[in-house]
Amino acid sequence: MNKIEKVKGPISVLRRHDVDTDQIIPKQFLKRVERSGFGEFLFYDWAKEPGWDLDPNPILVTGRNFGCGSSREHAPWALEDFGFKVLIAPSFADIFYSNCTKIGLLPVPLPEEEIEALMEAVEAEVNLADQVVRFDRREVPFDIHPETKRRLLGGLDDIGVTLQQEHAIVAYEDERERKGPVTTTLG
Amino acid sequence: MPDTLFDKIWQRHEVSEGILYIDLHLVHEVTSPQAFEALRVAGRKVRRPDRTLATADHNVPTDGSQVAAQIRDQLSRVQVETLERNCEEFGVPLYSLGSDHQGIVHVIGPELGLTQPGMTIVCGDSHTSTHGAFGALAFGIGTSEVEHVLATQTMQQRKPRSMRILYSGELGYGVTAKDLMLATIGRIGVAGGVGYAIEYAGPPIEALSMEGRMTMCNMTIEAGGRAGMVAPDNTTLEWVEGKPAAPGPLPADEWLALRTEEGAEFDLQYEIDASAVSPQVTWGTTPGMVTQVTEAVPEPESEGDQRALEYMALKAGTPIQEIELDRVFIGSCTNSRIGDLREAAEVVQGRKVAGGVHAMVVPGSQQVKAQAESEGLDEVFLAAGFDWRSAGCSMCLGMNPDIAAPGERVASTSNRNFEGRQGRGARSHLVSPKMAAAAAIEGRFVDIREWS
């Protein structure tokens, strides 16, 4: 996973709420078995609408409940492949938020009124270590779980981190694992 | 302090802080190929193939194709064949095309008896919340998490907050679990459940069949909630009893003891009177844009509403019952189980699909299909002019040949009415199986309570 610490640059604005992952990357592109190359299909149908203008800047600022709907990780893959490194919105859907943090794409929740101000700005700096967004000589703090922050800052491999607890997983399986059902004896 | 159903399952599965053990991992062809590939690159194995089960559902044609080689769309074929190869290589049991047990992943888990009370269940699909109907903790995950569960049989997961929606009264004639859930989403909003595990409780929930409970838990994600749950009771036990993977005898006392204790606290609680709920029809492009069948398309209150009306080609003030349809789809992980098909067939019996309407029924699994055929439901649908298909996700998401054309208006028993969901430019209205069946006969929406 890419490390992420500080991202500074121009922002792109998408003024819509409840943007679902079907819009971010429509179904016909989920048939690929690769992980890369989704950026060119980002917002595939919306991008054909007159007046659509979304540049591949490092920062995307958008509306509440961003990434709702399907659990497809292809949505964060497409956003990241397109060029975004940070997503800023009043709120994110749960699975989408989690998926972003797994690939080093930083979701930043900010209050709605801050989003309004940020949408008027030209560029911003997002500092993960300090947990702040800086724009127009302002400094707005944001929340992130300390463990998620540690992994993003270090670009850590989640599976590697979990396997440091291998002894605890083995102990769970030996002592507390639920008896069945198993899938291998169904025929 | 008294515990909730959710607390009990969570505590039982905590390996260490932030790590949750997973009892069952369901896999399908769309969200798994990159996870298997990453395991291969890292030289990792599937830790517990015996706790993992795969099926092909999203991409499969519903024309009765028996092997992947029959799939005409090349990308779809490759994806299903990739799943078959991955399962072979990693030792994961698979029900692919041609298997008697193939079907939508959230239909086959319960029907095999793999979904049981007290379990933790995950799948790379947001509608995994369905399995919570059995008093399990079940949620959808992304592909990186699929890889993580394959490798470690655990999830890194922080405990969500808890919500209870307590229903009172009883559902009226013709009103179903689907209507209750759509009305609930309309009430709490499409982001109302974000950050919460939701328990549905109260007499109207206890009165629901397992199919109805699955419909409600299934659409939890449409309210933003990652997990929906219903406490196990005798209805649950009766469903699981005798299923292929069910333990015998059932640990009934243990399962019934999972229920939320008296006085347990939730972070948030809603109360909803089920008696006041009418048949629901969505009018917009999120499941929260919903109204009663007796109402009219509402006045837009936001830019989003305005945009939705334009996409749906609807004018505010148009009575819902004057909306004419091109297609009807009965199927999906929300409403494709035998109970759903029986309800629809009862409405259809002895009638004909309206001229100009293309109507299809897609059973959720090969087992549901076989059961329906043994009851003669296929003949009821065929005689009325419905298309009777083979199992798969079908027109719920348009990843297979079952798609609606641009501009076509669909009455659908599925779960999402997003722009383009059922086909680019297609206009989806979410309804119950009864309402969809009646709409097929009339060619427009009708109030099932008064229609005969």
Residue matched to tokens 């837009």? B300
- Contact list in B for residue A102 (CB cut-off 8 A) is 142, 144-145
Q: Give kind and range of the element (H or E) at residue B308.
A: helix B303-312
Please report, as a single letter, which amino acid is at residue B239: W
Residue A172 in tokens: 């769970």
- Contact list in A for residue B286 (CB cut-off 8 A) is 18, 20, 68
Residues 331-390 of B with CB under 8 A from A: none
Q: Does A187 have pLDDT greater than 80?
A: no
ipTM for the complex shown: 0.96
Q: How confident is the model at residue B178 (pLDDT cuts 50, 70, 90)?
A: very high
pTM here?
0.97
Question: How far is B400 from A36, CA to CA, in rounded Å?
Answer: 22
User: What confidence tens digit (pLDDT) does each residue in A160-169 have?
Assistant: 999 999 999 9
User: What confidence tens digit (pLDDT) does each residue in B237-281 have?
Assistant: 999 999 999 999 999 999 999 999 999 999 999 999 999 999 999
Instruction: Judge whether A158 is closer than 8 Å to chain B, CB to CB.
Output: yes
Q: How far is CA B247 from the centre of its chain?
A: 25
Q: How confident is the model at residue A32 (pLDDT cuts 50, 70, 90)?
A: very high
Instruction: Judge whether B59 is closer than 8 Å to chain A, CB to CB.
Output: yes
- How far does A159 lie from chain B, in Å, by closest CA? 6
Contact A147 B18 (CB under 8 A): yes
B398 or B4, which is more confident? B4
Question: How far is B100 from B451, CA to CA, in rounded Å?
Answer: 38
Q: How confident is the model at residue A2 (pLDDT cuts 50, 70, 90)?
A: confident
Contact B124 A71 (CB under 8 A): yes
User: What confidence tens digit (pLDDT) does each residue in A91-136 have?
Assistant: 999 999 999 999 999 999 999 999 999 999 999 999 999 999 999 9
- Residue of A71, A102, A178 lying closest to B119 (CB–CB): A178
Residues 104-133 of A with CB under 8 A from B: none
- Contact list in B for residue A18 (CB cut-off 8 A) is 190-191, 286, 304
Q: In chain B, what's the furthest Cα-to-Cα distance?
A: 62
What is residue B431's predicted lDDT score, i.e. its pLDDT?
A: 98
A183 to chain B: closest CA residue: B50
Q: In chain A, what's the furthest Cα-to-Cα distance?
A: 65
User: What confidence tens digit (pLDDT) does each residue in B92-147 have?
Assistant: 999 999 999 999 999 999 999 999 999 999 999 999 999 999 999 999 999 999 99
Burial B29-62 (b: 16+ CB within 10 A, else e): bbbbbbbbbbbeeeebebbbbbbbbbbbbbbbbb
Instruction: Judge whether B142 is closer than 8 Å to chain A, CB to CB.
Output: yes
DSSP per-residue codes, B23-88: SEEEE-TTTSHHHHHHHHHHT---S-GGGEEEE--SS--SS---SGGG--SHHHHHHHHHHHHHHH
- How far does B349 lie from chain A, in Å, by closest CA? 35
Q: Give the Å distances, CA to CA, from B298 to B188, B289, B305, B409.
A: 18, 9, 9, 18
Instruction: Judge whether A149 is closer than 8 Å to chain B, CB to CB.
Output: no
- Contact list in B for residue A26 (CB cut-off 8 A) is 420, 424
Q: Does B452 have pLDDT greater than 80?
A: no
User: What confidence tens digit (pLDDT) does each residue in B369-401 have?
Assistant: 999 999 999 999 999 999 999 999 999 999 999
- How far does B384 lie from chain A, in Å, by closest CA? 32
Contact B286 A18 (CB under 8 A): yes
A34 to chain B: closest CA residue: B34
Contact A159 B42 (CB under 8 A): yes
